[in-house]
A and B are shown apart, each in its own frame.
Chain A
Amino acid sequence: DAGVIQSPRHEVTEMGQEVTLRCKPISGHNSLFWYRQTMMRGLELLIYFNNNVPIDDSGMPEDRFSAKMPNASFSTLKIQPSEPRDSAVYFCASSRSGGPMETQYFGPGTRLLVL
């Protein structure tokens, strides 16, 4: 299996620009997670989808962030407009289901730098 695939791996943009991060979960996995990791705040869950439906978006920082999962094999996280404080590593993870103790498999991450 190819694992969780994320693109791009690195993104440098200027403040105010729109940023779109992409994720392809492991085939057959029904749950998808978007996380953000920074030195200051560690790893934080942004949003969790189960069967393409957002279940928990309490971690989404503000209206500038939005996430979609149009089908079982693709998800996007969009930041519009981007700000320097959005600079972080963004991880996508998937699991077979969102149920208890289901192992989450992480992608390699997208390193975002907003200037």
Chain B
Amino acid sequence: DAKTTQPPSMDCAEGRAANLPCNHSTISGNEYVYWYRQIHSQGPQYIIHGLKNNETNEMASLIITEDRKSSTLILPHATLRDTAVYYCIALPPSNDYKLSFGAGTTVTVRA
């Protein structure tokens, strides 16, 4: 599984868009990029995933660069409830059940 690199922390103003970067320069052609988040004292929560096209759902948008070496998770209108640790991971379809999180990005949304 490709290694991913994320900034350790970032702040965001409530109501503004939060752009969370992730670097996965060694990603393989069949590996998907997944984003999960974990709010304090809760279990991880799935956000979105993608292969090479940009994806959007009710929670967020995922922008993957053309060379697939990096991606950005966009929370369009951050709320205080979006304060959490966000994890970016890259997994092949054959092994995508084996979630493994590193440090992630601690996002603090401020009023």
Let me know if B100 and A104 touch, CB within 8 A. no
Let me know if A108 and B42 touch, CB within 8 A. yes
Residues of B in contact with A, size category: 10 to 19
Q: Which of B32, B41, B44, B49 contacts A43 (CB 8 A)?
A: B44
CB distance from B109 to the nearest CB of A (A): 21
Is B43 positioned at the interface, with any CB of A under 8 Å from its CB? yes
Let me know if B43 and A106 touch, CB within 8 A. yes
Q: Please, which residues of chain B bring their CB within 8 A of the CB of A56?
A: 97-98
Q: Please, which residues of chain A bring their CB within 8 A of the CB of B42?
A: 106, 108-109
Q: Say whether chain A's binding surface is mostly helix, strand, loop, or mixed.
A: strand
Let me know if A104 and B103 touch, CB within 8 A. no
Q: Say whether chain B's binding surface is mostly helix, strand, loop, or mixed.
A: loop
CB distance from A35 to the nearest CB of B (A): 7
Let me know if A43 and B96 touch, CB within 8 A. no
Interface string of A91-109 (1 = CB under 8 A from B): 1010100101111111111
Distance, CA A102 to CA B17, complexed state (A): 27
Residues of A in contact with B, size category: 20 to 34
Distance, CA A107 to CA B45, complexed state (A): 10
Let me know if A108 and B97 touch, CB within 8 A. no
Let me know if A43 and B97 touch, CB within 8 A. no
Q: Which of B43, B96, B102 contacts A91 (CB 8 A)?
A: B43
17 further contact pairs, Cβ within 8 A, besides A43-B99, A101-B49, A104-B44: A31-B97, A33-B97, A42-B101, A42-B102, A59-B98, A91-B44, A93-B44, A95-B97, A101-B32, A101-B96, A105-B46, A106-B42, A106-B43, A106-B44, A108-B43, A109-B41, A109-B42
- Can you name 7 A-B residue pairings with CB atoms under 8 Å? A45-B98, A91-B44, A95-B97, A100-B94, A101-B32, A104-B46, A109-B41
Query: A residues bordering B, Cβ < 8 Å?
Result: 4, 31, 33, 35, 37, 42-45, 48, 56, 59, 91, 93, 95, 98, 100-109
